[in-house]
């Protein structure tokens, strides 16, 4: 059993910010050779910040541009020295509107980034991983992989589909060395929610009281599972969608 990822080439999409930055950091600390992929203008700075003792590679692209993904993938692979062992599909967006008013363009964008880009990247990486006989793909799911929530019909649909895609890819690839799993974070403290306690205390209290651990999660709470799923300690785990939610779903 080995939690050390030394020598493994790990790609984290969405790794310039938020939860996936913390996940990228956990991979770096576990010894991985890391490449972050993001559209954010701070990507170079994020890679520099992550790479304390060794270089962290970065690749800037818009994952919603699906037609560009094959070329993007080849460029990312080259940055990784020609081999990707672990792909963490983390980049995602959310758009809030009532279902009856939800704009079709936003629906398409959310589905393109949160689902279609993940399928295309996983397919591209999956082909190489099948050829090398080894690979780990980890997708970012959500509580809305399990329930529908409100005001986020596109997001909930994309994350529900991610849970199914995780199982579908796993079913086809598990016997050939490629394992596919997903992490489903619960309520997380992020830039978007950091001031919720102040701005919307009633909703904050309601959510917090439903979390058995009585606190919201952080990116650091996700890093352990992300590393575990990428490591040999998880060699018999595939097709799983694992909640990291302080017990929320169990209540």
Ligand X SMILES: NC(=O)c1ccc[n+]([C@@H]2O[C@H](COP(=O)([O-])OP(=O)(O)OC[C@H]3O[C@@H](n4cnc5c(N)ncnc54)[C@H](O)[C@@H]3O)[C@@H](O)[C@H]2O)c1
Hey, which residues does 136 pair with through a beta bridge?
86, 179
* Rg value, the chain, Cα: 17
Q: Give the H or E element holding residue 89.
A: strand 86-89
Active-site residue, selected from the candidate residues 27, 155, 187, 248: 155
The two most distant CA atoms of the chain are separated, in Å, by: 53
Binding residue (CB under 6 A) for ligand X from 5, 118, 182, 188: 188
Are β-strands 241-244 and 135-140 bridged in parallel, bridged antiparallel, or unpaired? unpaired
Dihedral, CA atoms, 117, 22, 4, 234, nearest 10 degrees? -60
155 is catalytic: yes
Nearer to ligand X, 41 or 133 (CB): 41
Instruction: Annotate each residue in 35-74 with x if it binds ligand X (CB under 6 A) or - if it does not, as one string.
Output: ---xxx---------------------xxx----------
Give me the helices (H) in 174-231, please: 196-199, 201-210, 219-230
Binding residue (CB under 6 A) for ligand X from 5, 10, 11, 16: 16
118 binds ligand X (CB under 6 A): no
243 binds ligand X (CB under 6 A): no
Binding residue (CB under 6 A) for ligand X from 5, 17, 170, 225: 17
Binding interface with ligand X (CB under 6 A):
14, 16-20, 38-40, 62-64, 90-93, 113, 140, 142, 185, 188, 190
């Amino acid at each position: 059993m080995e939690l050390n990822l030394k020598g493994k080439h790990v790609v984290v999409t969405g790794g310039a910010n938020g939860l996936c930055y913390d996940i990228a950091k956990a991979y770096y600390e576990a010894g991985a050779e890391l490449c972050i992929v993001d559209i954010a203008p701070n990507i170079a700075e994020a890679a520099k910040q992550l790479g304390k003792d060794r270089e962290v590679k970065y690749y800037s692209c818009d994952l919603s541009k699906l037609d560009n993904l094959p070329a993007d993938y080849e460029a990312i692979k080259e940055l990784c020295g020609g081999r990707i062992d672990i792909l963490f599909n983390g980049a995602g967006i959310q758009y809030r509107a009532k279902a009856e008013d939800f704009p079709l363009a936003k629906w398409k964008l959310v589905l393109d980034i949160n689902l279609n880009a993940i399928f295309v990247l996983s397919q591209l990486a999956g082909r190489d991983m099948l050829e090398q006989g080894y690979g780990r793909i980890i997708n970012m799911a959500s509580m809305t992989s399990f329930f529908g929530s409100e005001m986020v019909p596109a997001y909930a649909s994309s994350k529900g589909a991610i849970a199914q895609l995780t199982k579908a890819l796993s079913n086809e690839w598990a016997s050939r060395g490629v394992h596919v799993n997903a992490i489903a974070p619960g309520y997380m403290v992020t830039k978007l929610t950091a001031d919720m306690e102040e701005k919307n205390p009633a909703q904050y209290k309601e959510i917090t009281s439903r979390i058995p651990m009585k606190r919201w999660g952080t990116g650091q709470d996700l890093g352990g599972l992300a590393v575990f799923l990428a490591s040999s300690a998880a060699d018999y785990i595939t097709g799983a969608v694992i909640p990291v939610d302080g017990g929320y779903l169990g209540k």
